[in-house]
Structure 1
Amino acid sequence: MTTQAILPIDRQAIVQLSQSRQEPEWMTNLRSEALELAGSLELPVLEKTRIDRWNLRSFGTHKAETEITSTEQLPAFTKALLQDDSDQASLIIQRNSSIVFQNVSEELTKQGVIFSSLEAALTNHPELVKQYFMSVVSKDENKLTALHTALWSGGVFLYVPKNVRVELPLQALFLTDDADACFSPHVLIIAEQHSYVTYVDNFASHGDLNHLVQNGVVEVILKPGAVVNYASVHNFDESVTDLSYRRAVVEQDATMNWVIGEMNYGNVMSDTTSLLKGNGSTSDAKIICVGTNEQKLNVTTRAVHFGKNSSSDMITRAVMRDAATAIINGITKIEKGATGANGQQTEKVLMLSPKARGDANPILLIDEDDVKAGHAASVGQVNPEQIHYLMSRGITREEAQRLVIYGFLAPVVSIIPMKNIQEQLQRFVERKLGQ
C-alpha cells in the first residue's frame, strides 16, 4: 500500500491552534509529533476491506462554535437523541469542533466525579490527562491514530473515584453539521477501584457534509473491581465516513460492558477491543449493525486475555440490505499464562437482497491449554418458509419480513440492560429498514 503524503493540516497550524487554546506544552508537542508520524505511517490493513480506496482526505479544520444555555437551542434533529430529563442533569454536547453545552449534577461533584470536556480537563486536571491520554490507543499504531492524536477536538473526560457508584447514566451528544469543521472527539474514561458508572453517547450528523471523516478514539481504564457500562449509537448520514477505535484496559475483577449500535448510512470502520489484563476480569460486547444502499462496513470486536480466569463474550448481529457489504470480525486472543480463561463469540449476518454481502469471520488465537473458547457464525438470507407462514396468517409480506428481522436482532437488543438504548436502537432499525 502506498502511503498518502497529503495531510489535512500543516505542523505550524497545529502548533498555533494548540497554543491559542492554551494547551500544556506537552500536548502541543504530542500533536506535532503525531502529525509528523501521520506523514510516514500507513493506513490500517482491514480484513477484506480496502480502506485506502475510501475518501479519507476531508478532516476539516478547527472552528469554534457558539455555546448554548439550554438543550432547547439544539437543532430539531438532535432532540430525540436525549434519553430523558433525568439524564440531562449530567450532559455534555459537542457540535462540530467545540463543546457547546455542559451540565453536571451537584451530586456528582460532591462524590468527586469529574465529568467535563476533555479540553477543560486538560486545564483543570492536566496530570490525569497526561497519564492516560493515548495510553490505550497508541499514536503510532497507524495513520488514523496519528491523525487523531494531532487533530482531536472537544471530547469527554470522565473520572470516577474509588468506591463511588454513579447510579444515573452520564450522557454525551456529538453532532456535526458543518462540512468544513474538524470532528474528531476523544473520550477518556478512568474508573478507579470498585467504582461503577454508565456512560451513553450518540453521534449524529445533518446536511451534506461532503465526505467528512469522523476519526474518533475511546479509551477506558478500569482499575480493580470497577464496572463500566458503555453504550454508543452512531447515526451519521451517507456523507460521513465513520472511523472509530474503542479500547478498554480491564484490571483484576473489573467488568467492561459494551453496547454499540452502528446505524450509519456511510462507510464504517469500527474496532471495539477489551484488553483483559487482570485476573478475573470480564468483558461483554453487544454490537448491532444495519447496512443499506452501497454502504461498506468493517466491524471488528476483539477480546485479548492476559489475566487468569478472565472471561469475554461477544455478540454481533448485522442486517444488510440493497448492495451493502459487511465484514464482521470477531477475534478472541488468549495469551500464554491466561489459564482458566473463557472466550465466547457469535457473529450472524442476515442479508435481505441478492446484491447484499456479509462475511462473518470468527477467529480464535489461543496460546494456552487450560482454557475454554468457542464461536458460532452464520451468514444467510431470510427464510422463505418463515415469510410464507406469517403471510398465511394474514400478515403482509413487508410486515412479515420486518417481524423476521426483529426476531433476528431481538436476542441482542432484548438483553441490553439499558431500556432507553433498546428503544433507540429499535427506532433506528425501523427507520433504516423502512426506507
Structure 2
Amino acid sequence: MTTQTVLPVEPDNLRTASQANGEPAWLTESRVNALRLAGELELPKLEKMKIERWDLSNFGSLRTGRPEAKQELPESVAQLVDLKDNSSLIVQRNSAAVFTRLAPELAAKGVIFTDLETAVREHGDLVKPYLHAAVKPEENRLTALHAALWNGGVFLYVPKNVEVDVPLQSIFLIDDASEGFAPHVLIVADTNSSVTYVDNYISGQYDGKIVHNGAAEVFVKAGAKVQFATVHHLNEQTTDLINRRSVVDNDGSIEWIVGEMNAGDSVSETLSLLKGNGSVSDAKVIAVGAAAQKLNYTTKAIHFGKSSESQMITRAVMREQATAIINGITKIEKGATKANGQQTERVLMLSPKARGDANPILLIDEDDVQAGHAASVGQVNQEQIYYLMSRGISREQAERLVIYGFLAPVVSDIPLEQLQQQLQSLVERKLGQ
C-alpha cells in the first residue's frame, strides 16, 4: 500500500517565494528540486521508534518577501545575552533573522557571520559549494523538506590562519506557530583556523503546534578547530527534528557540546565524517526527558582517515513516562588504519514508567584499529540515596545530588562558563517539574 505524501507547499508557490526573497536562481532551483524529492522519499527509519506515527504536518506558512531589517533584540532574547562591544550575535525570530552583529575586529580579519539568507545573496560563491553537501536532500523526506523550506539561518566563515578567541552566538526563537521555522546553520572553518560557535533554541508562548525541521553543517578544513555548542529547550508544542553534520579534513578537529532539554518529542543526529588523516571528533551530549516525551538521539562518527580519533559521551535522565532511545555508532572504514573510536552511553531512569534504551554499535572494516564502548541503563542507586540520607539529607535532595553527579562528567567538561550555567539551570528546571 502506498501512502500519498501531502507537501506543505506547492512548487509554484515555493518558486515565487524564493524569487520574492531575492534568492539567486541556483538556490530557487535547489529548493524546488528538493520539494520534488520530498514527495518521493520516505521518512527516516529510527531505531526502535516509529516516527511515521508522529504528527509531522505542522510546518507553518511560507514567508514571501524579505523581512524588514531590525537591530533591536526581542525582549525574550535580550535577557539571555550580554551584548558587549566585541560580541557577535545573530537572532532569528520565527522565519527570519531580526538581529545581526559582527564584532568589527573580526570583520577586519575577513570573518563572515550573517544570516544564511543574506549570505546566499552576498557570498554565493562561498555558500554554494557547501550548502546541503553534508546533510543531503536525497537522504529522506525530512532532509528534502528542510532543503526546500529552510529560512533565516546562520553562515559563518573563518578565513585561513584566523583564530577567533570570543564565541560567536546565535539564538533561534519560536513565538508564532503560524510561521515556518527551519533555520540552517552553515560553518566553514578554513585551513588552520579556529572558532567557537554557540546557539540556543528557545520558545515563547503561542497557540498551536509546530515542527522544527533544522540542520547544521560544519566543514573543518586541514588543521582547523571548531567547537560547536548548542542547547535546545523548545516547549511541548514543538516537535524538534535536527541533523548535525561535520566533515573534518587532515588534522582538523570538531567538538560537539549538545544539551537536549526540550519539552516536546525530539529526534537528533550528531554525525562526524572524519575524512582526513589525524582528524578528531569529540561529542558530549546530555538529555533530560519528562512527562510522556519520546526522544531519539544518535551520535555517530565515521572514520575514513588514518589515525583518526572519535570520542562520544551521552548521558540521559528520564522522568515520569518519558521514553529515550540513545544510539552511539562508530564506523571505521577499510583503510582507516590506526583509527581509534570510543563511546559511552548511560541512561538513568527516575520512574518505573520511564523507559531508556542505550544502543552502542561498532562497525569495523579495518584490522589495525582500536574501538570500544560502554553502555548502561538503570534506576537511581538506592544505596547512594540511603548513604546521603544517613548524613541528614532529605530523599529529594539526595536524588538530586545523585543525578547532578551522573551528569557532571559531561557538564563540567564544557569549557564555556555561560553555557555550563545555562545547562545547569535547565537541568534543575526539568528535574523540578
Q: State the TM bucket, normalised to the shorter chain.
A: over 0.9
**CA RMSD between the two structures:** 1.3
Residue pair 2:253, 2:280 contacting (<8 A) in 1 also = yes
Shift of 1:81: 3.0
Question: Residue in 2 aligned with 1:167?
Answer: 165
Aligned partner letter, 1:169: P
Residue pair 2:259, 2:286 contacting (<8 A) in 1 also = yes
Shift of 1:254: 0.1
**Matched-pair identity in %:** 61
Q: Secondary structure at the match of 2:423?
A: helix
Question: Residue in 2 aligned with 1:114?
Answer: 112
Shift of 1:418: 1.3
Question: Residue in 2 aligned with 1:350?
Answer: 348
Question: Residue in 1 aligned with 2:71?
Answer: 69
Aligned partner letter, 1:28: T
Question: Residue in 1 aligned with 2:54?
Answer: 54
Using a 3 Å threshold, how does the CA distance of structure 1 residues 80 and 390 change in structure 2: closer, same or farther? farther
Which stretch has the larger CA shift, 341-350 or 57-66?
Answer: 57-66
Q: Secondary structure at the match of 1:376?
A: strand
2:361 counterpart of 1:363: yes
TM-score after normalising by structure 2:
0.97
2: distance between equivalents of 1:341 and 1:114? 34
Aligned partner letter, 1:177: D
Using a 3 Å threshold, how does the CA distance of structure 1 residues 16 and 49 change in structure 2: closer, same or farther? same
Shift of 1:69: 2.5
Q: Secondary structure at the match of 1:340?
A: coil
2: distance between equivalents of 1:183 and 1:381? 37
Residue pair 1:227, 1:255 contacting (<8 A) in 2 also = yes
Question: Residue in 2 aligned with 1:254?
Answer: 252
Aligned ranges 1:334-413 → 2 under 5 Å: 334-413=332-411
Aligned ranges 1:237-316 → 2 under 5 Å: 237-316=235-314
Aligned length: 431
Aligned partner letter, 2:72: S
Q: Secondary structure at the match of 2:137?
A: coil
1: distance between equivalents of 2:2 and 2:269? 23
2: distance between equivalents of 1:16 and 1:130? 20
Shift of 1:3: 4.5
2:35 counterpart of 1:35: yes
TM-score after normalising by structure 1:
0.97
Shift of 1:297: 0.4
Aligned partner letter, 1:291: G
Residue pair 2:86, 2:103 contacting (<8 A) in 1 also = no
Aligned partner letter, 1:42: E
1: distance between equivalents of 2:415 and 2:338? 27
Aligned partner letter, 2:299: T
Which stretch has the larger CA shift, 283-292 or 409-418?
Answer: 409-418
Q: Secondary structure at the match of 2:278?
A: coil
Shift of 1:413: 0.6
Question: Residue in 2 aligned with 1:155?
Answer: 153
Residue pair 1:333, 1:366 contacting (<8 A) in 2 also = yes
Aligned partner letter, 1:49: M
2: distance between equivalents of 1:112 and 1:160? 7
Question: Residue in 1 aligned with 2:219?
Answer: 221
Q: Deviations over 1:85-144 (max 9, x none)?
A: 348720000000010001111001100000001011111111111111001111110000
Residue pair 1:55, 1:211 contacting (<8 A) in 2 also = no
Residue pair 2:85, 2:103 contacting (<8 A) in 1 also = no
Using a 3 Å threshold, how does the CA distance of structure 1 residues 252 and 238 change in structure 2: closer, same or farther? same
Shift of 1:397: 1.1
Residue segments in structure 2 that go unaligned for 5+ positions in a row? none
Shift of 1:421: 1.1
Shift of 1:75: 3.0
2: distance between equivalents of 1:306 and 1:87? 42
2: distance between equivalents of 1:333 and 1:4? 35
1: distance between equivalents of 2:2 and 2:398? 48
Residue pair 1:11, 1:32 contacting (<8 A) in 2 also = yes
2: distance between equivalents of 1:87 and 1:375? 45
2: distance between equivalents of 1:193 and 1:268? 34
Aligned partner letter, 2:399: Q
2: distance between equivalents of 1:86 and 1:50? 46
Shift of 1:2: 5.1
1: distance between equivalents of 2:207 and 2:316? 26
1: distance between equivalents of 2:180 and 2:338? 45
Residue pair 2:349, 2:355 contacting (<8 A) in 1 also = yes
Aligned partner letter, 1:33: N
1: distance between equivalents of 2:118 and 2:358? 41
Using a 3 Å threshold, how does the CA distance of structure 1 residues 391 and 66 change in structure 2: closer, same or farther? farther
